[in-house]
Structure formats: structure tokens, C-alpha cells
Amino acid sequence: MLHDARARRPSAGNRIDLIGVPTDAGASCRGAALGPDDLRTAGLAERLAGLGYAVADLGDIDAGAPLSPAAEIEALAIGASKAAYRSLESGARPVFLGGDHSISMGSVAGVARHCRDAGRPLFVLWFDAHGDFNTWATTETGNIHGMSLARLCGEPGFHNAAEWFAPVNPANVLILGARALDCEEAQLIDERGVQVVDMDAIRVAGVATPLRHFLDRIEAANGHLHLSLDVDAMDPMLAPGVGTTVPGGLTLEEGQLVMAMLHASGRVGSLDLVELNPILDRLGRSADLMVDLTARLFGEPAETASPLPTAHLAA
């Protein structure tokens, strides 16, 4: 289990809520809207249930009538925020199935509201090749999924209504696996005090030490950890099914180690699985990888995890 029974780690129970947010409105490349169903088809619910969790698939959040991309993102953000709050209030752990990374504008905002009301600090692990810390003033592409973390950390230029939005303290954020930061974005990240462990640092010193330091901070603060897992954090040789591939990502062993450390910490209380694009995937390997990493996060032993076919790695 992610949460043990000791008083210093209040248990969120043994329940997991799967919540789909099928959208690619924040991205320039279409296809991520198919991600939630691809994760379901890859057996996510069955794998987690096999580990002893009570898994409820709550279906997908619906934006309603056809909307402009910006309006769709806003509608889904409000819905995801409310769904996150309800799930945590009920004692479950919400797992949001994306969808591009714009879904985190809502999911993390809802977690932040719950943590605020519960009097617990929120920490966010942004597991991603990108920083997603652009604003309307710094963006080079105009893609809204590249602004998610900036919005969550309270950067100006976004309309955040109090009934669904609460900000994240940028000092409590770790971007892990970054290797594609825009110049102005990187400067803003540094100014706001967001910690970045990029792939250059990981290649020199490994992933375990900086992650351990971050987890120790969360433990000392009795914090709630939200993991936002973007499939493009992994090397595209392992996970080609993403619209924004960046060479030189984490290896399978590094990704598995991160998930095992997160599980051992007992601190992950909510998460996003984002940017899976089945149209760009090959033989379902990216979906399989995301399911495998999620199962490892929830305690599946290494010896029982489904291996990725050797042919996939050589393709």
C-alpha cells in the first residue's frame, strides 16, 4: 500500500478512483484524448485490483457541447478539480487519466484545495521532459499544456476562480527528468524557486539522491505528494506514443526506481497519467509502460511486473 497504518502517515484507505479526462485541446498534436481508454484497455484497473486495491472507474469528465480549445480546457479543469476534491474527501486516491498535460490545471488545483482545507502542505513531483512553466508572455508555441505548472503556481494571466482553484507553492515542486526548457521559462522557474533535476544531473549523479532529498522534505512536513507523470519523461525508445518526444529520457530501470521509491515513501496520495497518444504509439508499448510504472508505484514487486518485449526496445 502507498499509505501505511502509522500515525505519522494518515491513511487514505485502500481505494483508488480512476477518472478520465479525454482531451488534447492543450496540445498542437491530436490524439492524447484517446489516452484514457488506451490506459483502460492496457489493463490499468485490473493490475491495481490485482494488488489488493478497491478500484472504481468513475468514467470520463465531459466538457459538454463542442467548445473552443481554451473553453474546453477551462470546463475540464473545473470538473477535474471538483472530482479530485470529492475523491480525496471520500478517502480514496484519485488517479487522473489524460489527456494532455493541461488536465493537471484542474486535478492538481482540486488536490491543492483539499490539502489547504485539511491543513496539510502539498508537494508536487512533475515527472516530465518539459517544465510546463510557460505563461502567455513567455510561450514560444502557444500550447496551453506547456503552461500547466505555471498556472498552478499562481503565475498571472489566468482566470482562477476560488470555487475550484487553489495555488501550489512553487518551493514545494520538483521537476524531474527535464531536458527541454525554453530560455525564458527556465529563467522563470529559477526565479520562482522551483527545483529542477534535469537529465544532465541524473546522468552525472543518478536519480535516487535528489528524489530522496525531496521525499525527506515531504516526510518532515507530513505532506501530501501529487505525482504528475508525463510519459515523455521516459526515453522515446521506450515510449514513442507521445506528441512531444525528446531524446535522452529516463531508462526503464530509472523509471522503475523512481516508482519504487515513491511507493516506499508512502506519500503519494493522488496522480496524473498524461500525454499518452495512442495514434503515435507502437504496438501499445507506451500504454503498457505507463501501466507498469503505475503498478510499481502502487507496490507491484519487480519480479511480477510485465516486461517490455525486447523487440520493442530494439525498434
Question: Which residues are part of the catalytic machinery?
Answer: 101, 128, 130, 132, 145, 230, 232, 275
Is 276:39 a contact under the CB 8 Å cutoff?
A: yes
- Give just the sign of the alpha carbon dihedral 269, 175, 217, 166: negative
**Buried b or exposed e, range 166-182, using 16+ CB within 10 angstroms:** bbbbbebbbbbbbbbbb
Measure the CA–CA gap between 127 and 233, rounded to whole angstroms. 6
C-alpha separations of 138 from 66, 121, 169, 173, 237 in Å: 29, 29, 20, 20, 30
Measure the CA–CA gap between 237 and 68, rounded to whole angstroms. 34
